[in-house]
Every structure is written in C-alpha cells, then in structure tokens.
Structure 1
Amino acid sequence: MARNGIHHVTAIAGDARRNLDFYVNVLGLRLVKKTVNFDDPGTYHFYYGDEAGQPGTILTFFPWTHVAPGRLGVGETQETSFRVPERSLGWWTERFVQKGVRHEAPVTRFGETALPFRDPDGMRLALVAVPGAEAEPGWAGGDVPAEHAIRGFHGVSLMLDKAERTAAILTDVFGFAEVGKEGNVTRLKADAETGGIVDLNEVGGFLPGRPGGGTVHHVAFRAADDASQAEMVEKLVANHGLVTTEQKDRDYFRSVYFREPGGVLFEIATDEPGFAVDEPAEALGQALKLPRLLEPHRDRIEAVLPDVSGVRAAA
C-alpha cells in the first residue's frame, strides 16, 4: 500500500456508550484502541478501524457526554466517507432502515454512488460503492458479514471559502493530484487504496463552522516515518509559510499539527509504530491503554471515565 493519503480522522461525539455501540455494532468497525485523550485524560479516545488498525481505516472520537452540538460551516470537514463493495449499498440501506439510522437517498458523485447518513451525534458520513472493494479484506468479527464490511476510508470533503491554497498543500506536501471538478467541488486523489480522496467544496460566504458534537476535530495525513514527516514539515515552511507544532508522541504514531489556510486543522501522523505496539493484534481494543506518564494515575482516571462495560465490542 502506498504510504500517503489519509491516516485517520478524529471527531467529537457525545455519549461514549452510544458512540461505541453505533460504530462497532451498527457499522461493524473494530474497536482497535480504547485509550484516553492525552490532553484531557478524563475523556476516552476511541479508535475504530479494520482488523489490523491500518492507516487509512481509522476513525477516532473524543466523546464528551454533555458536549453542545457543532455547526457545519467554512473551515470544517463536511463529510467523511467509507469504501464498501459495489453491490453492498442495498444491504446497507436495509440495515439503516432496520437500525433507525438517519440516511438519504443514494447520490452520484464523480461517477460513484454514495449513500449519505448521519451518526447519533449528527456527524455527516457516507458509504461509497467502490468497484473491486469486495476483493479487499473485510472485518468479520462483528455483526456485519465480511462481504458487506466497510473497507476503510474513501475520503473526506472539506468546506472552504477558497480552495486554491488548500489544494496547493495537498498536492505539493501530501502527494495528491487533481482528478476532476463537479460544480464548486474539486476532487484530489492520492496514490492510496484507502483514504485517497479529498474533495474541496468552495462555498464562499458561508458562516464558519463551530466545533462540537458531530463535527470533525482534525484530519491526519500519512507519513511513512519521522524522516518523511520532517520533509513534509520543511515543505510547509519553505513553500507555504506554515509552521507546525513540535512533534507529539501519541504512542501509536508521532504527530505534528497545523491549521491549513482554509481553517481546517491538519495533522501529519507517522505509520509507525502502529496499534499493536502495546497489546496483541488479536486483543486490540479490549483493555484501557494509558500512556506511560498517565499509568500511575490509572485508578483515578478509571474512576471518572464513563462506564462502557455493558456495550458489546467484538474481539
């Protein structure tokens, strides 16, 4: 797999139990890591993905029980989309009806059929029918049969006042290339099987987005290792006049962050070391994992975290 494209997407949710139930037991994703927000350890950080937790499949959440709803607007991720086999949209439509999932009629975008839907917090999502996706491995440890399982990200769409400078960063720094336009939307594609699409929706004059429940906090792009990440940081400074944060160790990847010109928070995350660094691959997501500095405070942290013990999460 090419080492570019989207690494993960991190969003904000409300109730932790409701979030866990929806993504594991309705969408059939694997809970690959249960940890805490390193900057706010009284809050969970859930990572959902494929069986191995590969980059390009990971959707993560900070669930805050009493979070206010966010507002979609300029400078925000408009929609996050997943890949599914081409013949699976009918199955998913029926499942959404049975499970009471808010969804819309299928639409065609850039020659692809997409099924838009919302999670319980109102986050905008879509399933995209991708020819050949049935040949890719699908996680079969939950309620969704492997033949219909989500195969990772298709991509994200960003709502921007102006798209030009954002597009320049995506092409120059992250290796995307423009592949088409439909109305106000420009599609960029990276050489990646999963997470290879970014759509830039230029909507000048809209209100800015407001962070909150159902909104995306940041989009992370892949770097193979520290050296690749450093090269990207140098390009951002030299070619775009943008400075990132210092590198932060997130245990499962190492990250730098910056606000791109359109207002969206971007991250550059290394593929290394991966989610199996602190627990066996077969046991991913089963135990609460804490970074080394927080481990001495485990009892206090566990005492304030919401109880999610009654929510079934397939191993």
Structure 2
Amino acid sequence: MNEMIIRGVNNQVFVAANLGRIEHFYSTLLGLPVVKRTVHHLDPRLPVITFGFHAFKGEEKRGHTISYIEWNPIFYMMPDVGFVDQKAAVAGVTSPRVGDPKGRWGAGTNHHLALHVPTRNGLLKWKRRLTDAGIHVTGPYNRNYFHAIYLRDPDGAIIEIATTEPGFGHDEAVLGSGFRAQPKENLIGGRDEILTAAETWPRPMPTVTDDFALRGFHHITSISSNAERTENFFVETVGLRLIKKTDYLDERGGTHYYYGCDDDISPGSVLTFFGLPGYTTGRLGTGLSHHFSLEVENESALTHERERLRRADVKVSDVYDCLYSKLFYFRDPDGHICALSTPTQLTVDESAEELGTRLCLAPEFEDRRIEIERGIALRPAPVPLPQN
C-alpha cells in the first residue's frame, strides 16, 4: 500500500439547475457563507458557486468547500462524460444531447454528502429548523458510529447531517480488522420508523447558533457494484486506509465500507461506499454530485501522485490550473469521477473579508466578462456550432 499522502477530503462538486435557489438553501437555511462566485475552469459558460464553513473558537477549521456547477438547459442532458477534459467539456456545453438534465444516482456515482455537527441535540435542532422551513427530513437514525438525519437540496441531491459520537472505534480495537454486523434495531425492518419520525427539538430554531452550526464535512458516500474491487482500488492503488466493514443499513444484503484519508480518522477525512452488486449505473446531471476531490499538500505531491497512479494503469487527466487550486481527475473502477487537488486558496483574487461578494474570473476570461455576465443573467439555451 502507498504511504498515506492524501490529507483528507477537499471539495465536493454538485450540479444544479439554478444557483440562486442553491444559494438560498445553503446560506439562509444551512448558515454557510458563499466564499466564491466564478465560472468553470474548462468552460466559462458554466457558472460555479462555492460555500465554506465558519470557524469556531477552540475548534480546528478544515478547508472543506461545497461547489455547485449550474447546468440549466431544460431539455438537454448533461454530457455523460462530465467536465474532466477541456475539448469534451466545450463540445458538450456547446451541443448537448436532448434529454433529461436530471441526474440519477447509481453504481459509479456519489450517493450523498454528510455534513458534521458535534452533538445529537444539534441534530435535533437541525431537524426542527428544516422541517419548520418546509423541508422533508428523515431520521434521526442510529448509524452505530454516528447519528444522522437526511434531506435533499433543491435539485434532489441527498444531504446528510451526522454527529461526532460515538465514533468508529467503539466496536473493534483495530479499525477495519473484520466485518462488524450492525445491531438489528439499526437495520431496515428493525427500526421504529414512527418513533424516529416523531423525534425532534421541542422549540423552533429560527437562527443557526454556534452550538449546532455545521462544522464541515463528516464523510462522502458513493455506490460500488463490487465492494472488494473498490477496496482494492482505494487501499492498494490510491493509498487510503480501510477503517470499517459493516452492513448497509437501508438495503438488505448491501455492505458499507469506510476509508480514512488521514491517520486521525477525524470527521471530514472519511470516504464510504455502499456495496450494491448489480445496481443500476448512475447518470450525471442536476441533483447529483459531479465529483469529489481529495487533498495533497502541494503541487509537487500532486505531480508525484499523478505519475504514481498513471504507472498503476489508472487513466488520469491533465493537471488543470483552476485558479484556486490545481487538480487532476481519475475514475474509480465503477467510473465515478474523483480528483486529487492541492489545497484551495480562495484569497488569490479577493480578500478574506470580501469572499463571495463578486464574480471572479481567471485572467484569461476577463476580456469576456460582459459576455459571461450576460450569459449568467439570461441563461440562454446552447447553440450548436455550424457544421462544415
């Protein structure tokens, strides 16, 4: 296994039909600040908004960010290869295929992003705040290693909010040493769903207070059609650490494997995969994640890891300068888009106090600012290039 160079999860990128609606969801309801308004590094016709997390006294702030790409044509599919290659991205945006723009999770896609709140009381406060705002929330469920509630963003992407405790070590001395069956009362069919649905905080929570504000990522979960193949890839090839093998709580016969990106196994450093053999392949689009990125220390480490993966016969993209980081893309054995990235540096074109207050463009796009701003405002349908 490769010595662990990956330091944790850096960013998760989703696809949305309307960034204004997404901004209201994250900023007004979830209390997260907008830290960047920009466009996609492969095609400036794709607007991007990024959210960060507040810092709290006495707590380490991790550099997690959530980004959304806007894909707004009403009757055009998002390119099924995603936005990982310069030429293909431009061609896909210019002349997409007619069809449903909505994504569908399945084998080879993300399933959900879990955000972190310290305590179970905080979880109940989120449930009360969100249900009072008209958002359907399920849970709180006992996931054995944490407690969690679930909701969807305005396009249907699944968002989880999960607690710190009890942690991954309470049921085995050596993490990942063997399969750990879940208690029956946690499994589908064994839970009291009425009791769970009824539990909430007794008072309204009109504002997000520090005690239950979101701290960053808890974990990212994707879907695998072959758990052992995925394990081999992320442990032996990518270099992560397997920390838990257990049951998938919401599907009989499914598995749930957890991988750590750092030695501390802290919230925000964990990837997980539901093992669902034979599950339908997913499709990229709105209401689904486009990719997640894992962080390495610097550009030198990025170059080293790209070459190491290439030698292991993993197909890797070029290294892209995304202005705020450098990254390259690769895919897991089911085709899920992943990336390795340098740390995000948001203050290269805005001060810390001004983050997210204006549309920031890379220098090579500045001469197109009027055209780009007009496109963002009017959101025209794509126009194919004339054929020769």
TM-score by length of 2: 0.72
Answer yes or no: is 1:242 the counterpart of 2:314: yes
In structure 1, C-alpha distance between the alignment counterparts of 2:357 and 2:28, rounded to whole Å: 15
RMSD between aligned alpha carbons?
2.3
Q: Which moved more, 1:39-48 or 1:150-159?
A: 39-48
- 1:143 positional shift: 4.8
Contact 1:157 1:199 in 2 (8 A): yes
Match of 1:73 among 93, 97, 106: 106
Distance 1:253 1:8 in 2: 11
Offset from partner CA, 1:188-211 (integer Å, 9 cap, x none): 122264421111111111110011
Deviation for aligned residue 1:248 = 0.4
Q: Deviations over 1:63-99 (max 9, x none)?
A: 2234522111110001110111213011101011111
Residue equivalent to 2:375: 304
User: Which amino acid in the other structure matches residue 67 of structure 2?
Assistant: T
- Cα deviation for residue 260 of structure 1 reads 1.6
Equivalent position of 2:297 in the other structure: 224
The CA distance in 1 between the partners of 2:325 and 2:62, in whole Å, is: 10
Letter of the 1:60 partner, please give it: S
Kept in 2, the 8 Å contact 1:16–1:65? The answer is: no
Contact 1:79 / 1:156 at 8 angstroms: preserved in 2? yes
Cα drift, residue 17 of structure 1: 1.1
Whole-angstrom CA distance in 2 between matches of 1:173 and 1:286:
40
- Superposed, 1:134-145 pairs within 5 Å as 143-145=207-209
1:57–1:151 Cα contact (<8 Å) kept: no
In the TM superposition, 1:181-200 aligns within 5 A as 181-183=245-247, 184-191=255-262, 193-200=266-273
The separation in 1 between residues aligned to 2:238 and 2:331, in whole angstroms, is 15
1:149–1:175 Cα change, 3 Å: farther
Letter in 2 for 1:146: D
Q: What secondary structure, in the 3-state scheme, does the structure 2 residue paired with 1:38 have?
A: coil
Question: In the aligned structure 2, how far is the partner of 1:299 from the partner of 1:110?
Answer: 52
Q: Percent identity?
A: 27
| Structure-2 separation of matches of 1:223 and 1:105 | 34
Question: Which residue matches 2:335?
Answer: 263
Letter in 1 for 2:109: E
Report the counterpart of residue 363 of structure 2 in structure 1. 292
Taking the aligned partners of 2:233 and 2:308, their CA distance within structure 1 comes to 9
SS for the counterpart of 2:126 is helix
Bigger strand share: 1
- Tell me by how many angstroms 1:275 deviates: 0.5
**Equivalence for 2:230:** 166
The answer for the alignment partner of 1:93 in structure 2 is 127
Offset, 1:302:
0.8
Helix, strand or coil at the partner of 1:81 = strand
The one-letter amino acid of 2:306's match is V
Deviation at 1:165, TM superposition (A): 3.5
- Show structure 2 runs of 5+ residues with no match: 56-60, 75-100, 168-205, 248-254, 380-388
Residue 176 of structure 1 corresponds to which residue in structure 2? Answer: 240
Which has more radius of gyration?
Answer: 2
SS in 2 for 1:106: strand
Q: How many residues align?
A: 296
CA distance in 2, matches of 1:25, 1:132: 30
Q: Distance in 2 between matches of 1:237 and 1:303?
A: 40
Which deviates further from its counterpart, 170-179 or 7-16?
170-179
Any residues of structure 2 matched to 1:36-115 within 5 Å, and which?
36-51=39-54, 56-66=63-73, 68-86=101-119, 87-115=121-149
Amino acid at match of 1:94: R
Q: Give the corresponding residue for 1:5.
A: 8
- Given that residues 124 and 140 in structure 2 are in contact (C-alpha distance below 8 angstroms), is that contact kept between their aligned partners in structure 1? no
Q: 2:162 aligns with which of 128, 139, 142?
A: 128
- Letter in structure 1 aligned against 2:363: R
CA deviations on 1:117-160 (whole Å, 9 max, x unpaired) are 11111101100011499xxxxxxxx9522221111111111101
Q: 2:97 aligned with 1:24, yes or no?
A: no
What residue ranges of structure 1 are gaps of 5+ in the alignment? Answer: 134-141, 309-315
Name which of structure 1's ranges 37-46 and 221-230 shifts more when overlaid on structure 2.
37-46
Deviations 1:172-219 (A, max 9, x none): 455421122222111112226442111111111111001111101011
Cα deviation for residue 233 of structure 1 reads 1.5
Alignment partners' CA distance in 2, 1:262 and 1:81: 21
Structure 1 residues 287-309: Cα deviation after superposition (integer angstroms, max 9, x where no partner): 1000110001111111111379x
